[in-house]
Structure 1
Amino acid sequence: MNPHLFAQARRKRSIRLIMLFALLLMIGFIISLNTGRYSIAPYEIWQTLIGEGSKKQNIVLFDLRLPRMIIAVLMGAGLAVSGAVLQGISRNGLSDPGILGINSGAGLAVLLFVSFYPTAQVAPPFFMPFLALIGAGVTAAIIYMLSYKKGHGISPTRLLLTGIAVGAGFSSASIILTLQLNPRNLEFVVTWQMGSLWGSNWEFVLALLPWIVILLPIVYWKARVLNMLSLNEQLASSLGVSINKERLILITAAVGLAASSVAIGGGIGFVGLLGPHIARRLVGPQHQYMLPITAGVGALLVLAGDTIGRSLMEHTEVPAGVVISLLGGPYFIYLLMRSGR
């Protein structure tokens, strides 16, 4: 098949899939808006959106559910694209911000803040992503230095094992700190660690939105560079690509996406693993086609996880992170078994 025609066909397929995920997200929004203790029918949702709903409907829709759903979509897109970047740079399909320990580092930084901040429930939302970014950045630097071998670069297996070990260490430190918290802060931390989308108001939406809006286009702009890095670094270098510079930009973007998402939405894992794998199966490995689909898969995954979590039990909510882990855990085992063949 003519390469130009093949690329054109893949581009059309990618556009169709983007439209499909946009439609699925719209359907997911309608279902999620109607899920919870207080039911709102689709026509009542429309009436509320145009300003003709009751006071109770306005509160439920605009103050409770809508900001939470937008956070779920932003967070899902951010975590999934972060995973795609890490998988591309490391050339390891098992890479994920959670599995590599980056989420643990971000969580430890947030936990340190909560431990010394007397009223965690009113902690400044705009400060939390920066705090998580520091923790995630330090974690990524440690993992990178321990994984890098002079003359050989980064071994995918070494990177994965180092990330798991560092993440386990930070998780242990988090548990020790958690045991010393007062009851109020302990409740907040446990809720956050399970990925319950704790920051669910418009202030938190505004805190997360700039990170996603700025970093996602940067990653997409570097899609072709990411293609070269994920295939052959020597070839990329011979074509004039500054390997270390481009890798640093991409790692910084991936860490920023993961850290800001975790800081606002809590410790949700496996989104960065599932999103890229599903997108790769749909449109192939080229990142200019894969990244938009990855973002759509991640957004839909977290939105669906949160919606299912709110509807599973009558008098309590199951955190979205728990629901997604029920899917992600078996899939991770499946990928491990395949990689060992």
Structure 2
Amino acid sequence: MIQSHLLKKQRIILLILLALIVLTAFISAGIGYSSLSFDRLLPTILGNGTFKEEFVLFSVRLPRIVITFLAGMALALSGAILQGITRNDLADPGIIGINAGAGVAIALFFLFFPIQPGSFVYMLPLVAFIGALLTAFFIYILSYNRKVGLQPVRLILVGIGFSMALSGLMIVLISSADRQKVDFIAKWLAGNIWGSDWPFILALLPWLIVLIPFTFYKANKLNLLGLSEPVAVGVGVSIEKERIVLLLAAVALAASAVSVTGGIAFIGLMAPHIAKSLVGPRHQLFIPIAILIGGWLLLFADTIGRNIVEPNGIPAGVMVALIGAPYFMYLLLKK
């Protein structure tokens, strides 16, 4: 049973985060290369703006805001699941190579398969999922030992090795591509939010609608998987079955996110850790907070990045890495 004071604390933090997200989204909608004054935002949302104001807000700013927020949520939830099933605080879809696997699959699809404009947006998450799933499968197999089960430290090391190898493969693919396609892949690698239009939201949203409730449903199983294996087996948890099902969910969340945002790491590392430090390690408590923190972190990083250097700005992936890399080193030294 969850203590009432922790539930109350969780609700207060959720309200604060929601207010912070709304404030950040409001600021993000009002600043940029084509400025839209803050006093004109509400009239424009209500349909009383000029053609230029409505175009900037509804065709440029709002889709990007929603995409970055949803992608941040997906990456944070993916990281929380991975940390739970591996019992390793350093697990993150970007660090252990899952994002890189999705990126290679997207690059192969983009470079060598005929692209249909109507279905391209909706094919990307599926292609990314296949690439990420294959990568996760090989990482899992190489990290598993029949006698002791999954080895968390080995999983991180194998994942980092896969990430480096797949990055090398990406360079080989780029070297054989024409200039226009190389530009796209380079932007993807940097974590440039390239899928900033309404159809990309429709491509990403169904994965979240299905997998967020599914993860809440499995929250207690994640709590038990965080204990030692003998204890989890003793209370009736089918460890390998639950790990595989939850790993599929984590892979799908990460793949769907990076298919439209590019290679973004560290969100899945930072958001769960910050949430756990606020309300403790129970998944029912910290996952809702981690999801909102992940969405806000990516939205904040993109807002800052695209306004530092005009007109193109700094990719969100680079901004997140500037925050996340020192945090990763801190955790590495601490743990």
For this structure pair, what is the TM-score category when the shorter chain's length is used for normalisation?
over 0.9
Question: Equivalents in 2 of 1:63, 1:202: separation in Å?
Answer: 8
Q: In the TM superposition, what are the counterparts of 1:1-341 in structure 2 within 5 Å?
A: 7-117=3-113, 124-339=120-335
Question: Equivalents in 2 of 1:122, 1:323: separation in Å?
Answer: 32
Question: Equivalents in 2 of 1:127, 1:120: separation in Å?
Answer: 10
Question: Equivalents in 1 of 2:320, 2:279: separation in Å?
Answer: 23
Q: Which piece of structure 1 moves more, 233-242 or 28-37? A: 233-242
Question: Equivalents in 2 of 1:126, 1:119: separation in Å?
Answer: 11
Write the letter of the residue equivalent to 1:147.
S
Cα 1:291–1:207 change in 2 (3 A) is same
Residue 102 of structure 1 deviates from its aligned partner by 0.3
In the TM superposition, what whole-angstrom CA distance separates every residue of 1:254-312 from its partner, at most 9, and x where no partner exists? 00000000111111111011111111111111100010010011000000010001111
Residue 213 of structure 1 deviates from its aligned partner by 1.3
Q: Which piece of structure 1 moves more, 278-287 or 110-119? A: 110-119
CA contact (8 A) 1:114 1:120 kept: no
CA RMSD, Structure 1 to Structure 2 (Å):
1.4
In the TM superposition, what whole-angstrom CA distance separates every residue of 1:14-57 from its partner, at most 9, and x where no partner exists? 11111111111100110100120122223311111110000001
SS at match of 1:318: coil
Write the letter of the residue equivalent to 1:219.
T
SS at match of 1:231: coil
The count of corresponding residues between Structure 1 and Structure 2 is: 335
* TM-score where L is the length of structure 2: 0.97
Question: Equivalents in 1 of 2:260, 2:310: separation in Å?
Answer: 26
In the TM superposition, what whole-angstrom CA distance separates every residue of 1:226-281 from its partner, at most 9, and x where no partner exists? 01101223222222222122111111110000000011111111101111111111
* TM-score where L is the length of structure 1: 0.95
